[in-house]
Amino acid sequence: MELKGPLCYVLDYDDIANYAYQTAKKIKDSEWRPDAIVGIARGGWVHARIQCDLLGVKELFSVKVSHWGVTATKDGKAKLTCPLVGDIEGKKVLVVDDITDTGESLTMAVEHIEETGKPKEVRTATLMHIAGSKFVPDYYGVEVTWAWEIWPWNFYEDLTALIMKIFEGEDIKELTTPQLKKHLREYNNIVLSDEQLSKVKAHMGYLEKIEYPQDKVWKLK
Ligand code: ADE
């Protein structure tokens, strides 16, 4: 069935642990040992912290790359908004992100780190790599075809954006939970439990996107 919106997959922390482990295994098998890890904020932070553990790395730094774009779209310009702070001179550095899609984040981060930090060597790692992406990381957990991956650390943010898109697409101000369930399946192939949906609803109430509390309907503010 043709979807009305982008195909999405909801990932949980077990998926992340599994992909991170696969990534770390490839790094270890290549007999390369990073001295420091740089996590790209925000998407790469959790993965970067897990790699510190899996690879026995104590030095963890950050850069931030911001995107002007919307959830589940391929567009948007990237900009390096927080530079590297910390000493990586002469070190082997692993730059870590969640996924390579357009590859813009990693391209910008690596360029910046090589220019400003004088590292001995820079390599890159992501949990997932989208086949055909311009940037191929040195290490990744799995290769996939394009879909919007809903990371467990971005669940509420993504679901809020996707549901707002459904309100927009349907040109409607109010939805019942069963209607919303149907739309999430038709737009994004997402199936959520009642408990997950009620947590998203509470979150959207907290953000003042919808009226809250409301027992049955999702009503736009
Ligand atoms: N960030 C960039 N591309 C992405 C994708 N396909 N899924 C989730 N996050 C992303």
Question: How many other C-beta atoms can be found within 10 angstroms of the C-beta atom of residue 132?
Answer: 10
Give yes or no for residue 158 CB within 6 A of ligand 1: no
Give yes or no for residue 104 CB within 6 A of ligand 1: no
Sign of CA dihedral 24, 29, 35, 41: negative
Q: For residue 216, what pLDDT is reported?
A: 79
What pLDDT band is residue 67 in, cutting at 50, 70 and 90? Answer: confident
Q: For residue 98, what pLDDT is reported?
A: 98
C-alpha–C-alpha distance, residues 175 and 2, integer Å: 22
Q: Is 89 exposed, middle or buried (0-12, 13-18, 19+ CB in 10 A)?
A: exposed
Residues with Cβ within 8 Å of residue 162, at least 6 apart in sequence: 5, 8, 71, 72, 184, 187, 188, 190
Q: In the chain, which residues fall in CATH 3.40.50.2020?
A: 13-147
What pLDDT band is residue 199 in, cutting at 50, 70 and 90? Answer: very high
Residues with Cβ within 8 Å of residue 164, at least 6 apart in sequence: 209
**Average pLDDT estimate for 59-63:** 98
Cβ proximity of 10 and 155 under 8 Å: yes
Give yes or no for residue 61 CB within 6 A of ligand 1: no
| Integer CA distances (angstroms), 94 to 10, 120, 183, in order | 27, 11, 41
Give yes or no for residue 41 CB within 6 A of ligand 1: no
Q: For residue 162, what pLDDT is reported?
A: 98
Q: Which of 15, 67, 101 to mutate to test the pocket of ligand 1 (most atoms within 8 A of CB)?
A: 101
Q: Give, using CA atoms, the residue closest to atom 3 of ligand 1.
A: 101
- Cα-to-centroid distance, 215 and ligand 1 (Å): 33
Given a cut of 70, is residue 205 above it in pLDDT? yes
Least confident range of 12-26, 43-57, 71-85: 71-85
Residue type, 76: G
Q: For residue 68, what pLDDT is reported?
A: 75
CATH number of 155-219: 1.10.10
Q: Which CATH number fits domain 13-147: 3.40.50.2020, 3.40.50.10540, 3.40.50.300, 3.40.50.1980?
A: 3.40.50.2020
SS3 per-residue string spanning the chain: CCCCCCCEEECCHHHHHHHHHHHHHHHHHCCCCCCEEEEEECCCHHHHHHHHHHHCCCEEEEEEEEEECCCCCCCCEEEEEECCCCCCCCCEEEEEEEEECCCHHHHHHHHHHHHHHCCCEEEEEEEEEECCCCCCCCEEEEEECCCEEECHHHHHHHHHHHHHHHHHHHCCCEEEHHHHHHHHHHHHCCCCCHHHHHHHHHHHHHCCCECCCCCCEEEEC
- Cα-to-centroid distance, 72 and ligand 1 (Å): 7
pLDDT in tens, 126-177: 999 999 999 999 999 999 999 999 999 999 999 999 999 999 999 999 999 9
- Cα-to-centroid distance, 62 and ligand 1 (Å): 19
- Cα-to-centroid distance, 178 and ligand 1 (Å): 28
Given a cut of 90, is residue 78 above it in pLDDT? no
Give yes or no for residue 135 CB within 6 A of ligand 1: no
Q: For residue 1, what pLDDT is reported?
A: 80
Q: In the chain, which residues fall in CATH 1.10.10?
A: 155-219
Give yes or no for residue 65 CB within 6 A of ligand 1: no
Q: For residue 69, what pLDDT is reported?
A: 66
Given a cut of 80, is residue 70 above it in pLDDT? no
- Of 166 and 214, more confident: 166
**Average pLDDT estimate for 189-203:** 96
Give yes or no for residue 149 CB within 6 A of ligand 1: yes
pTM of the model: 0.96
Given a cut of 70, is residue 204 above it in pLDDT? yes
Q: Which of 10, 102, 148 to mutate to test the pocket of ligand 1 (most atoms within 8 A of CB)?
A: 148
**Average pLDDT estimate for 177-205:** 97
Mean pLDDT computed over every residue of the chain: 95
Q: Give, using CA atoms, the residue closest to atom 5 of ligand 1.
A: 148
Question: How many other C-beta atoms can be found within 10 angstroms of the C-beta atom of residue 221?
Answer: 11
Q: For residue 146, what pLDDT is reported?
A: 97
Q: For residue 71, what pLDDT is reported?
A: 63
